[in-house]
């Protein structure tokens, strides 16, 4: 899941043979670009090939860390090297026109606070104008939240007053909020309008009507929401760390928890970092940025996840015996100053400021970190160089990380609003998803086709500018405007797989065959790093990913007791880690959790699980 920031940026995303050690290194992007340093090699024991250079050399293929997985480029790609008019020409051939509504249809939604470019606003920006032009649709803010706490407060006020958004974005069907909306009969029945309006591609991509994806939004046989997600690999972590600092301390990327600690301590002792590992703890050990879940995963568990035990039953990760070992390790790291003293109070966005400042050179993050935490750091220190590597092994050689929840995220609509508002959003979804499909399946495409955010489009003068017949990076990414408004319903679990396979195929082609758009993408260090990281995440999902097996709607006892149990869990785990409570307090917590509703919830969760078989 998660804070509004996560929901506005990435939501929260290839199978491939890949290296077990260091990934693509990412250099600072500020002009003029520095010459590419020698490749960084993974620890010898991993027998991994060398990582990519920090910048793809012009005369060679763009370097990444995994072998090609995409099909060979289609005929004609090599000839698509025309200048500026190329994009519009191809765009018009591939993408069918959208159904445009007249007069303009407006719909309000719960949005997050976003950055705007040169005086633009939530209702007047390059994306809103684009959507008005092609679709006759405008998404307006019902409210804008600046943090998770702010968002929760606005939701609480809206629920109490009944003044709800017309479109409710980023609902989680496993939560009390969803249960309350269902019980209060506040959600529009989408069954018939979805069947009538959603395109064949839209339905197929989302597994309509029989997939678990749709079961999660179905109540008493009626569809109350539109499911969305980019797949469990979209929200799975790698270890990101400073390559230039590794070089200074003479160490290689860590492969175990002990090596991770040694690298962080070396950064601190050299005076490069104040802390060994950046982490957030405000919402627990599992987060969307600077998370600690790979530490628990190295012991075979993920707190807050429902995990399958040896007998095929579901058990709650936070109360398993291995959790005591996780807490003991984190407790030691905290006492040693390896973790920031106030990390339990910091949300994900707060930790980004620490990463940006250069106080730390190592953290766990998603494939898109080159355009988030690392980008923030390189704006402060343009010479900073980062690389990614796998999450570390635990005492038994196990690697583990939380896979993102594929099922459970939904957009819903307020009961009683004019049907045309819902219809317009579904038509927008059809159009945006068609663009995604074309970007994966057609190589002769515009810049938007080369972006993992290809549903969001690319605009000259914003994310890119033309210099002669070449494209250069612009000053502002307009896809931020899409997140949290037009975009969410356009997501389906397998988009990222196809997109990154496509991008890998582009980067592995002879650079002489690249068109201007492909050249721009394949030579950009951020893009190269992201494609390498995404391929690595998807390629190791089966080996390292740990699934949350429960995606059902809240059980009876969850509605009654989960909020109280969650609060007790967070307070107990953090007081143990920070030394305010003894490690033995964990045993009492397990007993209390079970007695105060946990055992009953476990029964209900397993009853749900057995109903699926």
Could you give the angle at which helices 176-183 and 148-161 cross, rounded to 10 degrees? 20
Could you tell me if residue 69 is inside a domain? Answer: no
- Domain span holding position 448: 79-234+407-506
Model confidence pLDDT, tens digit, residues 548-566: 999 888 999 999 999 999 9
Q: Are residues 380 and 249 in the same domain?
A: yes
483: pLDDT confidence band, cut at 50, 70 and 90? Answer: low
- In 2-43, which ranges are continuous DSSP H helix? 4-9
More confidently predicted of 243 and 128: 243
**Residue range 387-412: mean pLDDT, rounded:** 91
498: pLDDT confidence band, cut at 50, 70 and 90? Answer: low
- Phi, psi (degrees; rounded to nearest 5) at 266: -65, -40
**Residue range 427-450: mean pLDDT, rounded:** 58
443: pLDDT confidence band, cut at 50, 70 and 90? Answer: very low
Q: Does residue 341 register a pLDDT over 70?
A: yes
Q: Structurally, how many domains does the chain consist of?
A: 2
Could you tell me if residue 32 is inside a domain? Answer: no
**Which pLDDT does position 495 carry in this prediction?**
56
- Answer with the one of 506, 534, 568 that is the final residue of a domain: 506
pLDDT-wise least confident of 100-114, 124-138, 466-480: 466-480
468: pLDDT confidence band, cut at 50, 70 and 90? Answer: confident
Q: Does residue 454 register a pLDDT over 90?
A: no
Could you tell me if residue 211 is inside a domain? Answer: yes
CB 447 within 8 A of CB 521: yes
Q: Are residues 222 and 105 in the same domain?
A: yes
Q: Are residues 326 and 442 in the same domain?
A: no
Q: Are residues 90 and 213 in the same domain?
A: yes
Q: Are residues 144 and 289 in the same domain?
A: no
69: pLDDT confidence band, cut at 50, 70 and 90? Answer: very low
Could you tell me if residue 571 is inside a domain? Answer: no
Q: Are residues 130 and 212 in the same domain?
A: yes
Q: Does residue 71 register a pLDDT over 80?
A: no
Q: Are residues 363 and 496 in the same domain?
A: no
Model confidence pLDDT, tens digit, residues 14-61: 222 222 223 333 433 222 222 222 222 222 333 332 333 333 323 222
Q: Which residues contact 35 (CB under 8 A, 6 or more apart)?
A: none
pLDDT-wise least confident of 159-163, 318-322, 446-450: 446-450
**Which pLDDT does position 436 carry in this prediction?**
61
Q: Determine the Cα–Cα distance for residues 548 and 304; give it in Å rounded to an integer.
A: 8
Q: Determine the Cα–Cα distance for residues 242 and 54; give it in Å rounded to an integer.
A: 12
Q: Does residue 423 register a pLDDT over 80?
A: yes
Could you tell me if residue 326 is inside a domain? Answer: yes
Q: Are residues 353 and 484 in the same domain?
A: no
Q: Determine the Cα–Cα distance for residues 472 and 514; give it in Å rounded to an integer.
A: 15
Average pLDDT, whole number, for the chain?
Answer: 80
589: pLDDT confidence band, cut at 50, 70 and 90? Answer: very high
Could you tell me if residue 50 is inside a domain? Answer: no
435: pLDDT confidence band, cut at 50, 70 and 90? Answer: low
Strand partners, 412: 168
Element (H, E) at 226: strand 226-227
Q: Are residues 441 and 326 in the same domain?
A: no
Q: Are residues 306 and 445 in the same domain?
A: no
Could you tell me if residue 428 is inside a domain? Answer: yes
The DSSP call for residue 552 is: S
Q: Are residues 273 and 341 in the same domain?
A: yes
DSSP labels, 429-488: HHHHHHHHHHHHH-SS--GGGGSTTTTS---BTTTEEEETTEEEE-S--THHHHTTTTSG
333: pLDDT confidence band, cut at 50, 70 and 90? Answer: very high
**Residue range 374-397: mean pLDDT, rounded:** 96
Model confidence pLDDT, tens digit, residues 365-378: 999 899 899 999 99
The CATH number covering residue 388 comes to 3.40.190.10
Q: Judging by DSSP bridges, how do beta strands 314-316 and 222-223 pair with one another?
A: unpaired
Of 179, 280, 259, the C-alpha closest to 225 is 179
Q: Are residues 309 and 218 in the same domain?
A: no
């Amino acid at each position: 899941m998660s804070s509004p920031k996560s929901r506005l940026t990435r939501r929260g995303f290839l199978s491939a043979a890949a290296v077990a050690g260091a990934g693509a290194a990412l250099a600072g992007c500020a002009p003029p670009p520095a010459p590419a340093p020698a490749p960084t090699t993974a620890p010898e024991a991993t027998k991994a090939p060398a990582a990519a250079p920090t910048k793809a050399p012009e005369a060679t293929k763009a370097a990444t860390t995994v072998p090609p997985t995409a099909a060979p480029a289609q005929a004609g790609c090599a000839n698509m090297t025309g200048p500026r008019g190329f994009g519009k020409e191809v765009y018009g051939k591939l993408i069918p026109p959208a159904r445009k509504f007249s007069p303009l249809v407006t719909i309000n939604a719960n949005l997050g606070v976003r950055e705007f470019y040169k005086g633009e606003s939530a209702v007047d920006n390059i994306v809103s104008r684009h959507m008005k032009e092609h679709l006759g649709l405008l998404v307006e803010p019902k409210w804008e939240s600046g943090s998770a706490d702010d968002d929760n407060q606005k939701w609480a006020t809206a629920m109490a007053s009944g003044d709800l958004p017309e479109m409710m974005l980023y609902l989680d069907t496993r939560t009390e909020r969803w249960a309350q909306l269902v019980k209060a009969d506040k959600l529009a029945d989408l069954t018939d309008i979805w069947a009538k309006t959603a395109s064949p591609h839209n339905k197929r991509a989302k597994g309509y009507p029989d997939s678990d994806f749709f079961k999660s939004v179905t109540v008493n046989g009626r569809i109350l929401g539109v499911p969305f997600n980019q797949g469990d690999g979209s929200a799975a972590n790698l270890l990101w760390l400073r390559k230039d600092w590794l070089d200074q301390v003479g160490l290689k990327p860590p492969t175990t928890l002990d090596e991770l600690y040694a690298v962080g301590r070396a950064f601190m002792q050299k005076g490069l970092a104040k802390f060994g590992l950046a982490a957030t703890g405000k919402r627990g050990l599992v987060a969307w940025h600077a998370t600690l879940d790979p530490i628990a995963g190295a012991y075979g568990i993920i707190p807050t996840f429902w995990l399958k035990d040896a007998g095929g039953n579901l058990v709650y990760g936070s109360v398993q015996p291995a959790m005591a070992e996780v807490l003991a390790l984190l407790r030691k790291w905290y006492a040693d100053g390896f973790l920031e003293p106030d990390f339990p109070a910091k949300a994900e966005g707060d930790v980004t400021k620490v990463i940006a400042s250069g106080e730390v050179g190592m953290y766990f993050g998603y494939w898109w970190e080159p355009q988030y935490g690392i980008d923030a750091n390189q704006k402060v220190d343009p010479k900073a160089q980062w690389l990614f590597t796998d999450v570390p092994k635990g005492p038994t050689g196990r690697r583990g990380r939380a896979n993102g929840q594929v099922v459970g995220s939904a957009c819903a609509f307020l009961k009683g609003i004019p049907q045309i508002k819902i219809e317009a959003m579904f038509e927008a979804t059809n159009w945006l998803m068609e663009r995604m499909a074309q970007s994966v399946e057609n190589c002769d495409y515009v810049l938007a086709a080369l972006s993992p955010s290809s549903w969001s489009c690319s605009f000259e003068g914003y994310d890119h500018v033309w210099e002669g017949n070449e494209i250069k990076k612009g000053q502002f990414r307009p896809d931020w405007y899409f997140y949290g408004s037009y975009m969410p319903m356009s997501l389906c679990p397998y988009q990222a797989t196809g997109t990154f396979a496509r991008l890998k195929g582009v980067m592995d082609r002879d650079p002489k065959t690249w068109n201007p758009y492909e050249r721009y993408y394949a030579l950009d260090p951020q893009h190269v790093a992201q494609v390498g990281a995404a391929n690595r995440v998807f390629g190791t999902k089966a080996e390292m990913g740990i699934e949350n097996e429960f995606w059902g709607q809240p059980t009876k006892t969850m509605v009654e007791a989960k909020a109280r149990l969650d609060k007790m869990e967070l307070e107990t785990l953090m007081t143990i880690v920070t030394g305010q409570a003894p490690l033995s307090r964990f045993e009492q917590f397990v007993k209390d959790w079970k007695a105060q509703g946990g055992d009953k919830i476990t029964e209900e969760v397993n009853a749900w699980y057995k109903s699926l078989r």
